[in-house]
Amino acid sequence: MSDNNQYEEICHMCRRSEQNAGKMFHLPNQICVCEDCMKKTMSAMSRFGFAPMPEMSHDELQTLIDGAQAFQMPQSPDGMPDFLQTAQNGEEGGGETVEPDPEDAQKKPKQSPFGNGFPNISFLNMGDLQGLMGGGQKVKRRKPDEEKVPIIDIKDIPQPHKLKEMLDEYVVGQEHAKKVISVAVYNHYKRLAAECMKDEEFPDSLKSVEIEKSNMLMIGPTGCGKTYLVRTLAKLLNVPLAIADATSLTEAGYIGDDIESVVSKLLAAADNDVDRAESGIIFVDEIDKIAKKKNTNSRDVSGESVQQGMLKLLEGAEVEVPVGAGSKNAMVPLTTINTKNILFICGGAFPDLDEIIKQRLRKQTSIGFNAELKDSLDKRKDILNEVTVEDIKKYGMIPEFVGRMPIIFALQGLGEEMLVDILTKPKNAIIKQYRKLLSLDEVDLHFTDEALLEVAKKAMEKDTGARALRSIIEDLMLDIMYEIPKDDNIGKVTITADYILGKGGPVIEMRGN
């Protein structure tokens, strides 16, 4: 298949794709007009007695004649449409046909043989129309159902334990979260592979069984690795991933991104390939920001209404999405995407959710010698693991939304030990990044264990999770990265705890010592 045949044609009038608009009429300069827009144009021409303009080429005129015949518009015995024949005879719009003066023929442009129904107006240049309507965005054609294959072969899907091992190389800790997400993703892509398999490959009792997808809701404090976990997962699987921010979503008709924009981002990540996008992953971050607003009398355009609008996406429905834009408008082509096979992963920090959980658990606290003290709940670091659907609904998420998220799990807050491991163990650990940077200057960088612990303590004080590590290291390494290139004799730099605490400087060793 050629490159031109791989993409759907877009109507330059209504901006709908070939899939939605149907048959296309081809005009010169690679302009396409759908059947509906062509019919409206022909009706308008017939009503106002349109006459072709002097600049109209033979191909453009032939397109009008073909379109009129396709819509069975009245025509004369010689095959000429009535509205063109009328314009030619000067009966409608063109006025009386007058023989031109030979002297005026040299001054005026040559008149059309069909007259001129619109005096002093030149015909629209189709080349200008192509540039004006912006035909840069293209949508790849869908494959027929019999040719569809899963985006990942069932033999190539990593098993859950192997997928978790791959995640362990990049993500420190969060053992339960990595286990849950590995199983969920494995089952999701097995489900896509099963849909492309024939019924004869299954036992008789399982032929009519349809596997439903399992969307996920991740809960965890800021900086615990929610976004990083999903981004790493998509990179390992090599599938399209779109990361959207729920804070920018609003109800349709209000300033902000429409709900369908999250699917439009996935389509862009899949290079406008609809089939590939329909098997991708969408991660909606900051999902807690669209919780129902409490004690407000104004319209909640970015809260409960957004949850209501996302229900059809999560469940699975065919939605029209703009190609290459965040919202629908007349200049952007539209295409239809079915979200039935798109895996949605929502994540949020849900601040103060722990208080809702503690309040529920305190009501269950019994009285007696073996009763758990209420104060002990305040000391628990893993209180989010006790979250239930009722807690999330009380936080402000509507029951219909929570019901479409069957897998709910929490990520742990990061302690000092986990922060130290994040600094050194992952493949892309920040310490390894700086060691690689200094190795280009032939300098060896080393951090003592006490220094790493002090960095972790400073990060804990900031209370922004792993994000604090980067800012702390950037600040500490500023002077070192500035001074090291000045002296080619420096061979090794050791960062000590005293330097972290501001009590001394780094230990510098010269080459040959």
What local confidence, expressed as pLDDT, does residue 179 receive?
92
For residues 442-454, average pLDDT? 92
Give the mean model confidence (pLDDT) for residues 406-421: 88
Task: Report the amino acid identity of residue 374.
Answer: K
Grade residue 56 by pLDDT with cuts at 50, 70 and 90: low
pLDDT > 60? residue 254: yes
CATH of domain 213-408: 3.40.50.300
Find how far residue 313's CA is from the centre of its chain.
13
H helix count then E strand count, the chain = 21, 14
Overall average pLDDT of the 122-126 stretch: 46
pLDDT tens-digit readout, 290-338: 888 776 666 777 788 888 888 988 988 888 887 766 566 656 777 888 9
Least confident of 32-46, 56-70, 157-171, 232-246: 56-70
Phi, psi dihedral angles at 415 (to 5 degrees)? -100, -175
Q: What is the pLDDT of residue 223?
A: 82
Examine the pLDDT at 9 and tell me if it is beyond 80: no
Q: Which region among 295-309, 358-372, 493-507 has the lowest average model confidence (pLDDT)?
A: 358-372
Residue 163 clears pLDDT 60, i.e. is over it? yes
In this predicted structure, the answer to whether residue 286 has a pLDDT above a threshold of 60 is yes
Say what the pLDDT of residue 2 is.
41
Strand partners, 284: 244, 346
The pLDDT value recorded for residue 114 is 42
Residue 66, judged by CB atoms within 10 A of its CB (0-12, 13-18, 19+), counts as middle
**Does position 5 have pLDDT exceeding 80, yes or no?**
no
Average pLDDT, the chain: 77
DSSP 414-468: P-HHHHHHHHHSSTT-HHHHHHHHHHTTT-EEEE-HHHHHHHHHHHHHHTSTTHH
Domain 416-510 CATH assignment equals 3.40.640.10:
no
Identify the pLDDT of residue 237. 80
Q: How large is the average pLDDT for residues 133-162?
A: 64
Residue 178, CA atoms < 13 Å, CB-side half-sphere:
22
Which residues does 397 contact at the CB level (< 8 Å), separation at least 6?
Answer: 291, 292, 307
| Residue 33 to residue 21: CA distance in whole angstroms | 9
Question: What's the pLDDT at 433?
Answer: 92
Least confident of 63-72, 100-109, 299-308, 390-399: 100-109
**Every domain range in the chain assigned CATH 3.40.50.300:** 213-408
Q: Specify the range with the lowest mean pLDDT, choosing from 37-51, 197-211, 374-388, 424-438.
A: 37-51
Tell me the pLDDT band of 76, cut-offs 50, 70 and 90.
Answer: low
Q: Is the pLDDT of residue 341 over 50?
A: yes
Which pLDDT score, from 0 to 100, does residue 134 have?
43
Query: Which part of the chain is CATH 1.10.8.60?
Result: 416-510
Query: DSSP class of residue 105?
Result: H
